[in-house]
Structure 1
């Protein structure tokens, strides 16, 4: 079993679709999570058929931004629990004898002034199905200054707020091998900037279920983001040394305001449909 997560930055470019098709053929993922698809359900359904997946759930973009999609191979293996413009939450059960686990595709808010809404959402998702949990996606934030080169240094408070969100959920970074950064502004001068915005985090329950799992950052394709590949069997390319990110062990601390924040966001319409971070 395996998974690919990619902020594809729009599927209107034929080259992007071609690169995605090639990546799926090479990696044969059981699950595929796409962000910033900028595509409606009709187009995504055609892509599902082209890529050979059985299941598909789409959060349509708003205007010319956003859009999420989760694909999976065997339709009976996955059940969507909830979603918003920033996430898709699902329960995976491979067989009657296997413990079900939670898969969350996550897309942090591209506006840094609204990123706390994303961290509140992540914390709130802990209350849905307390089972082994894997969360993947573009968090649109870094955890440490070492995860960024170029441009201005990130504000410490901004990074600390991001660190606290997985910590509250008992989610630890699974680390990675491959390229150090997952996003670049493609600058050709002194403005050139790279950051590690995409990552995979899981709780101890999921990590114990998949002790040999490994994460690999793939080569950049037709996007300013690198795809992330998660192999549940832990197969890693040779010659690449795995790196470990931040780890969290703190217990969940109930926050009475969290539910109210999320309900307010959903009431504004965030649960009905879809920029770049690095700020």
Structure 2
């Protein structure tokens, strides 16, 4: 089973929802935890359903701050225990796994005055927890000074308190990849900051239940927080997910039509047959190239995000993200036009079934 944790920093625009929909389609998680949605319950429910997630719990934002959402698919059973504006705590039951486990999606306060409230919340949850327990989200705190690059040094006392809380709750990092850099950039070079704020931690029972479980970041085309992909894998379970991107370019189509048509001097019917064969080859070639382009851009982005950043590297990261964003949008627009319905407005899901329906209509 896969789960996803992401500080989306607002889902109020169609573009942000498209990014989320693309990520869910690409990774196919069974459970998704979102932070800083900045939406009320009604709008968040609409965004969630448009991503194909029928079941969910929404904690609406306070004006333009906060907002949480936990969503899941029908093949798992999720029972709500308790929630607040800082967290959503549930029990999860999966097919093939006899024991229930506890998941807490946590959004740590970005304000120092509220940080103790979040840490006390973790303490209470730990006291009441008798299950394998996973906590994931944006803690808005780092454990050690080397987890921050740029900007003002983090206060040592705050980091010590955070480490003490995790030790008291017997929560351990699920590997190094469970921590990821977030970054921001202002008008000055010294404001280029990287911090490991997003992470996943678990107790010993959860680690024993999922001996192959891990957390890794996903390089993504939006700035700041990258999604965390949580792999709840036992020794019996190996999942492979693939993405099948495709999009026909209108301008390329016109040029290709002209080239294919003018390449033959045969009679009309023979030219039409030659055109059919040529367009079939062109379509298959283009689809393959589009898939390779997305993979290449994602790989380049991942490599650049791991490197130390100067102004030149930062510019390359921005260019790569813009290019990747364009490719994602082209894929969305293609299926929207092909189905000939306003599925983004009325909530039809961008799934393989929906694609097959569009192909059958053709």
Whether TM exceeds 0.5 here: the answer is: yes
> Could you tell me how far apart the structure 2 residues matched to 1:151 and 1:235 are?
40
Equivalent residue number for residue 149 of structure 1: 149
> Could you tell me how far apart the structure 2 residues matched to 1:149 and 1:77 are?
40
Cα 1:90–1:62, aligned 2, differ >3 Å: closer, same or farther? Answer: same
Quote the offset at 1:54 in angstroms. Answer: 2.8
Q: Deviations over 1:43-77 (max 9, x none)?
A: 12212221112310011111111100000112760
What are the residue-to-residue correspondences of 1:86-105 with 2, within 5 Å? 86-95=86-95, 98-105=98-105
Q: Deviations over 1:83-137 (max 9, x none)?
A: 0000000001124861111000000011023212111111111133410001100
Q: Deviations over 1:233-275 (max 9, x none)?
A: 387999x9xxxxxxxxxxxxxxxxxxxxxxxxxxxxxxxxxxx
Secondary structure of the residue aligned to 1:211 is coil
Deviates more, 1:39-48 or 1:83-92: 39-48
Equivalent residue number for residue 39 of structure 1: 39
> Could you tell me how far apart the structure 2 residues matched to 1:141 and 1:15 are?
29
> Could you tell me how far apart the structure 2 residues matched to 1:89 and 1:137 are?
12
2:51 matches 1:51: yes
Equivalent residue number for residue 125 of structure 2: 125
What are the residue-to-residue correspondences of 1:93-242 with 2, within 5 Å? 93-95=93-95, 98-177=98-177, 181-187=180-186, 189-233=189-233
Q: How many correspondences in the alignment? A: 238
Tell me if the contact between 1:176 and 1:214 (Cα under 8 Å) persists in the aligned partners: no
Deviates more, 1:119-128 or 1:189-198: 119-128
Secondary structure of the residue aligned to 2:21 is helix
> Could you tell me how far apart the structure 1 residues matched to 2:219 and 2:163 are?
26
Secondary structure of the residue aligned to 2:15 is helix
Q: Deviations over 1:125-178 (max 9, x none)?
A: 113341000110000000001100001111111000111111111110102439
Tell me if the contact between 1:35 and 1:107 (Cα under 8 Å) persists in the aligned partners: yes
Deviates more, 1:227-236 or 1:118-127: 227-236
Tell me if the contact between 2:5 and 2:33 (Cα under 8 Å) persists in the aligned partners: yes
Secondary structure of the residue aligned to 2:80 is strand
Give the structure with the larger helix fraction: 2
Where in structure 1 do 4 or more consecutive aligned residues deviate above 6 Å? 234-238
Cα 1:97–1:176, aligned 2, differ >3 Å: closer, same or farther? Answer: closer
Show structure 1 runs of 5+ residues with no match: 241-279
Tell me if the contact between 2:83 and 2:89 (Cα under 8 Å) persists in the aligned partners: yes
Secondary structure of the residue aligned to 1:6 is strand
> Could you tell me how far apart the structure 2 residues matched to 1:142 and 1:46 are?
34
Tell me if the contact between 1:9 and 1:223 (Cα under 8 Å) persists in the aligned partners: no
> Could you tell me how far apart the structure 2 residues matched to 1:218 and 1:113 are?
31
Computed over aligned residues only, the root mean square deviation of the Cα atoms, in angstroms, reads 2.3
> Could you tell me how far apart the structure 1 residues matched to 2:77 and 2:218 are?
26
